[in-house]
């Protein structure tokens, strides 16, 4: 029978439930359990994350099937090296939408539709849906215990314990121990309160994971044990670490794998930590003597999580090449040309809207002329094309339909995409791409690739004949509709200048860095040698 592990949080949001859930999944894999997946329940009323501001919520992560999700699904994929789909993520809004559709269709036969049992049943159905017959389903509950938006989630998982038996469920609660630097002491009262809140909704945690700035003394664990009725061994210290990839091994060091063995009735197997130990040794070996700086010209630089997958993909490539990579944020709305002179490479990531666009185009021109290795992603690629057409082909005022440009438009809205409804209407998910003979084909070492997309606009194919003659080449097209997917500046004109309509960062992991980022970082290294 499938076993379930629920990860909840308290005291404050943003504690790292996603990393915690991913780490638990990784530990199960190290114990020989291969049929593991993770799901995320978010309490917000948006149907999905697609229309949410990345500065407020972080990046929108896109799955193979085109589901726009919370960034935590990126952690799940990177840690466990698994794919995720719409079955791995849901919001209150999405579940309410389905509930109302069922009510309108008469599925409830005239009954009064209520939060309990109807909405909680929708939640349980989502959690337990198991088409691939996973042995372990880890479920992260978004927000913090006590949030009114998430109360139905807690009620649903309380009910599940009775539905499937306590022997098949384990509750992990993540909390924060406040550290008062003035008195140099950890305060446990907020954690005691959040445990009380959890108990009041009928859930008693099996494991308490305590985030802390300093190691947790035994006396603090004893105090928490007294107030929570948990054995001391079940109170896990989670101090701040330089790399999130240290977390699984730190949990093992705290003995969490033994608790999982006992509580989940797992047959004892050899704990294979070799892959993770090797990864962390590589991370610890990175030094300033072998370092470089990558500039990111972004629209959402106020919050690093807006580009979480991108930062991780850069980091993965750096680890592979044994180079420490520093990030220099370049605000798209500011004149920051002076920063470019110290960059070993430039990335222009995706985004939406007119703000900062003309400044980015101006910066791209300077980057191209300075022959700095450059990667443009989605909007970044589109702006690279606009810059080339304006300054090399001398087509004045050429732009994008997205920015209200009337004519001419090198970037146009795709014909089968509607503006009438914003959520879930873009070109989303994984699509097949045919590569031409070029540097990009050498990078991928194949003719066909599959990459994930998230865009509403694309290069106007009517301008295809303008490419190639002056050095900007079309080197990849979508197999299903010939959408221009990859552009590349001839090697004689620039050492490394590539733009992609897709988002390669979504498919990078520390154990399998994306080839495009590996090549990009390699050329950045070549630049400084």
Q: Which residues are catalytically annotated?
A: 378, 503, 505
Q: Which of 436, 450, 454 is nearest to 514 (CA)?
A: 450
Give strand ranges (E) for 106-218.
136-141, 169-176, 178-180, 185-187, 207-212
* DSSP state at residue 59: P
Tell me the CA end-to-end span of the chain in Å, nearest whole number. Answer: 56
- Alpha-carbon distances of 56 from 117, 303, 380, 452, rounded to whole Å: 33, 8, 21, 23
CA distance 266 to 34: 13
Q: What angle do CA 474, 479, 481 make, to 5 degrees?
A: 85
CA distance 357 to 273: 46
Query: For residues 321 and 270, is the Cβ–Cβ distance under 8 A?
Result: no
Q: Which of 173, 146, 141 is nearest to 157 (CA)?
A: 141
User: What is the SS3 assignment for 74-131?
Assistant: HHHHHHHCCCCCHHHEEEHHHHHHHHHHHHHCCCCCCCCCCHHHHHHHHHHHHHHCCC
- Tokens coding 146: 């006590």
CA distance 108 to 98: 13
Packing angle, helices 515-528 and 308-321, rounded to 10:
60
CA distance 28 to 68: 27
- Determine if the peptide bond prior to 117 is cis (ω within 30°): yes
CA distance 56 to 138: 26
Residues paired with residue 41 on neighbouring β-strands, in sequence order: 90, 141
Judged by DSSP in three states, 400 sits in strand
Packing angle, helices 256-263 and 17-30, rounded to 10:
70
């Amino acid at each position: 029978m499938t076993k379930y592990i629920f990860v909840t949080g308290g005291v404050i949001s943003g504690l790292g439930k996603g990393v915690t859930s991913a780490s638990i999944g990784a530990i199960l894999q190290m114990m020989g359990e291969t049929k593991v997946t993770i799901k995320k329940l978010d309490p917000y009323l948006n149907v999905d994350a697609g229309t949410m501001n990345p500065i407020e919520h972080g990046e929108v992560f896109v799955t193979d099937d085109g589901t726009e999700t919370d960034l935590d699904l990126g952690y799940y994929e990177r840690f466990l090296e698994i794919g995720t789909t719409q079955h791995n993520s849901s919001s209150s809004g999405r579940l309410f939408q389905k509930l109302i559709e069922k009510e309108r269709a008469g599925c409830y036969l005239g009954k009064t539709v209520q939060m309990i049992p109807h909405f909680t049943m929708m939640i349980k159905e989502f959690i337990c849906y198991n088409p691939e017959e996973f042995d372990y389903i880890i479920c992260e509950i978004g927000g913090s215990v006590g949030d009114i938006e998430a109360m139905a989630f807690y009620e649903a998982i309380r009910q599940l314990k009775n539905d499937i038996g306590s022997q098949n469920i384990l509750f992990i609660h993540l909390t924060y121990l406040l550290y008062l630097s003035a008195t140099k002491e950890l305060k446990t009262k907020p954690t005691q309160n959040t445990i009380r809140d959890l108990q009041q909704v009928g859930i008693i945690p099996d494991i308490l994971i305590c985030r802390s700035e300093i190691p947790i003394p035994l006396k603090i664990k004893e105090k928490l044990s007294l107030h929570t009725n948990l054995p001391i061994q079940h109170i896990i210290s989670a101090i701040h670490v330089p790399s999130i990839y240290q977390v699984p091994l730190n949990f093992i060091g705290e003995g969490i794998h033994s608790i999982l063995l006992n509580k989940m009735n797992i047959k004892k197997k050899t704990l294979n930590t070799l892959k993770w130990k090797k990864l962390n040794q590589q991370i610890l070996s990175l030094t300033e003597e072998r370092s470089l700086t990558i500039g990111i010209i972004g629209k959402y630089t106020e919050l690093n999580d807006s580009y979480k997958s991108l930062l991780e993909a850069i980091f993965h490539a750096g680890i592979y090449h044994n180079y420490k990579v520093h990030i220099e944020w370049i605000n798209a709305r500011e004149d920051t040309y002076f920063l470019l002179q110290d960059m070993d490479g430039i990335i222009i990531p995706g985004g939406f809207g007119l703000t900062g666009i003309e400044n980015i185009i101006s910066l791209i021109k300077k980057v191209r002329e300075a022959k700095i290795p450059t990667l443009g992603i989605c909007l970044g690629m589109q702006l690279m094309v606009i810059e080339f057409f304006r300054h090399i082909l001398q087509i004045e005022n050429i732009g994008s339909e997205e920015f209200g440009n009337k004519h001419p438009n090198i970037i146009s809205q795709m014909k089968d995409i509607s503006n009438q409804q914003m959520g879930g209407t873009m070109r989303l998910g994984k699509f097949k791409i045919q590569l031409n003979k070029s540097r990009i084909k050498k990078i991928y070492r194949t003719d066909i690739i599959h990459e994930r997309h998230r865009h509403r606009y694309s290069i106007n194919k009517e301008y295809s004949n303008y490419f190639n003659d002056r050095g900007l080449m079309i080197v990849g097209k979508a197999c299903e509709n010939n959408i221009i997917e990859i552009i590349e500046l001839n090697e004689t004109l620039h050492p490394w200048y590539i733009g992609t309509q897709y988002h390669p960062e979504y498919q990078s992991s520390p154990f399998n860095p994306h080839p495009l980022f590996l090549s990009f970082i390699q050329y950045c290294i070549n630049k400084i040698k």
